Amino acid sequence: MLNEKEYLKVREAFATPSKVAIIMHKSPDGDAVGSSLGMKHYLEKLGHTVSVISPNPYPEFLKWMPGTRSVIDFEKTPTPANQAIAKADLILFLDLNSLKRIGDLEKAVKKSDALRIVIDHHPLPEKFADIAFHDAAASSTAELAYDFISMLGDSKRIHKDIANCLYAGIMTDTGSFRFASTTPHTHDVVADLMRHGAEANKVHRFIDDNNRDIRLRLLGYAVFEKMKIFPEFATGIITLTQSELKRFDYKEGDTEGLVNEPISVKGIVFSALFTEQKDGEIKISFRSKDKFDVNQFARKHFNGGGHMNAAGGRSDWSMDETILQFLQLLSQYKTELQGK
Ligand code: 5GP
Ligand code: MN
């Protein structure tokens, strides 16, 4: 995936101890945090000094990962984040295909003349780095991080902390190895991570069995009271307003996975979760099955993007207006949704 010149440049950059800033995308998920912390442990093993920066807070259920306490939250503490970027010889971007995905951190990045490397699997990447290790067919950025380490001949250096972080990234982005993006290679990578100390059962329990009971009540409420199925469009949606989220003591990450519920209904190929944010913006998660391209849908209509079968976007309109617009769009896409 890298040409000879790029490969040599990476080797050279990694050969001498340097200051590295790792930046993940806004509202980071398991893949963003797992690949970032996995690469941090790997680069530290090579002797580099590494700062990991997240544009904003990430969910509690990812905070068991080794190294999690060292992550700088730019929203909470912008100064150390800006300093780490200003000092960096190398900036490594993980799990993002556009600088837009890092929000206001972009300003500090633009001022820096550090070498920029990106490892990512989102389609339609923009060119913002000197070196891009990119494959839109890869299951996850964490899988690509493993490939990157192994390209450098270092897979034998993978230790338990690296392995657990990368395992968590692959597991979360593949829906526990069930999405269409999961390949034989994904399983080969996971097998090798387990040989190098990944504790699969423990990671699944940390991620899946870590609920506050009120979170399960929120999920139950959302499915029972708020899920609407539109069989004629093979579509299901869930909406959650701020007052509903408050009622269930909503914390970052509590609605993770909820968008997969409507799409688990027989015959449904498209699902959307609309959540009202504190500032009134409506955040939308899209999922699809087979050929319905939610990346294009989110880009075209909701100022977002992502992958063919998993994407996100936003709307500045009210919840009711947003749903009205969405329902009108469903009529437009009716034939595609019916798979005709
Ligand atoms: P989620 O629904 O889990 O928030 O996001 C699903 C996928 O869509 C993720 O791969 C994420 O990176 C991508 N995504 C979510 N929101 C946005 C957005 O606003 N812009 C872009 N380009 N991608 C997004
Ligand atoms: Mn990812």
Take atom 10 of ligand 1 and give the residue whose Cα is closest.
306
- Closest ligand 1 atom to residue 286 Cα is 2
Examine the fold and report which residue of 186, 208, 230 is the final residue of a domain before the chain moves on: 208
Report how far residue 54's alpha carbon sits from residue 26's, in angstroms, rounded to the nearest whole number. Answer: 7
State if residue 312 touches ligand 1 by the CB under 6 angstroms criterion. Answer: yes
Residue 296: which residues within 8 A CB-CB, separation 6 or more? none
Query: Which residue among 285, 287, 295 has the greatest number of ligand 1 atoms within 8 angstroms of its CB, and so is best to mutate?
Result: 285
**pLDDT given at position 213:** 97
State if residue 305 touches ligand 1 by the CB under 6 angstroms criterion. Answer: yes
Same domain for 150 and 257?
Answer: no
Backbone angles phi, psi at 149, to 5 degrees: -65, -40
Find the Cα–Cα–Cα–Cα dihedral 119, 122, 126, 128, rounded to 10°: -20
State if residue 285 touches ligand 1 by the CB under 6 angstroms criterion. Answer: yes
For residue 75, how far is its CA from the centre of ligand 2 (angstroms)? 21
Closest ligand (CA of 172): 2
Examine the fold and report which residue of 191, 208, 225 is the final residue of a domain before the chain moves on: 208
List the domain range (segments joined by +) for residue 234: 213-337
Label residue 235 by pLDDT band (50, 70, 90). very high
Report how far residue 47's alpha carbon sits from residue 30's, in angstroms, rounded to the nearest whole number. Answer: 25
* 239-292 per-position pLDDT tens digit: 999 999 999 999 989 999 999 999 999 999 999 999 999 999 999 999 999 999
**pLDDT given at position 161:** 98
* 3-29 per-position pLDDT tens digit: 999 999 999 999 999 999 999 999 999
Q: Taking residues 136-140, what's their average pLDDT?
A: 98
Same domain for 203 and 219?
Answer: no
Report how far residue 276's alpha carbon sits from residue 269's, in angstroms, rounded to the nearest whole number. Answer: 24
Take atom 7 of ligand 1 and give the residue whose Cα is closest.
311
* 160-192 per-position pLDDT tens digit: 999 999 999 999 999 999 999 999 999 999 999
- Closest ligand 1 atom to residue 31 Cα is 10
**Closest by alpha carbon to 39, among 89, 94, 78?**
94
**Domain count for the chain:** 2
Are 218 and 254 in contact by the 8 Å Cβ rule? The answer is yes
Take atom 20 of ligand 1 and give the residue whose Cα is closest.
304
Same domain for 186 and 298?
Answer: no
Closest ligand (CA of 140): 2
Residue 155: which residues within 8 A CB-CB, separation 6 or more? 146, 149, 192, 196
* 297-312 per-position pLDDT tens digit: 999 999 999 999 999 9
State if residue 59 touches ligand 1 by the CB under 6 angstroms criterion. Answer: no
For residue 30, how far is its CA from the centre of ligand 1 (angstroms)? 12
For residue 279, how far is its CA from the centre of ligand 2 (angstroms)? 26
Same domain for 8 and 115?
Answer: yes
pTM of the model: 0.94
For residue 305, how far is its CA from the centre of ligand 1 (angstroms)? 6
Report how far residue 86's alpha carbon sits from residue 110's, in angstroms, rounded to the nearest whole number. Answer: 10
Same domain for 53 and 95?
Answer: yes
Please tell me the total number of residues recorded for the chain in this structure: 340
335, burial (CB in 10 Å: exposed 0-12, middle 13-18, buried 19+): exposed
Label residue 340 by pLDDT band (50, 70, 90). low
Q: Which CATH number is 278's domain given?
A: 3.10.310.30
For residue 260, how far is its CA from the centre of ligand 2 (angstroms)? 16
Instruction: State yes or no: pLDDT of 314 exceeds 90.
Output: yes
Label residue 52 by pLDDT band (50, 70, 90). very high
Same domain for 197 and 242?
Answer: no
Find the Cα–Cα–Cα–Cα dihedral 254, 172, 95, 190, rounded to 10°: 160
What would the two tokens of residue 23 be? 């930046």
- CA distances to 101, 167, 237 from 202, rounded to whole Å, are 31, 11, 32
- CA distances to 216, 251, 288, 314 from 236, rounded to whole Å, are 20, 24, 10, 18
Of all helices (H) and strands (E), which one includes residue 294? helix 294-302
Instruction: State yes or no: pLDDT of 229 exceeds 70.
Output: yes
Same domain for 102 and 171?
Answer: yes
Label residue 43 by pLDDT band (50, 70, 90). very high
**pLDDT given at position 300:** 98
**pLDDT given at position 1:** 84
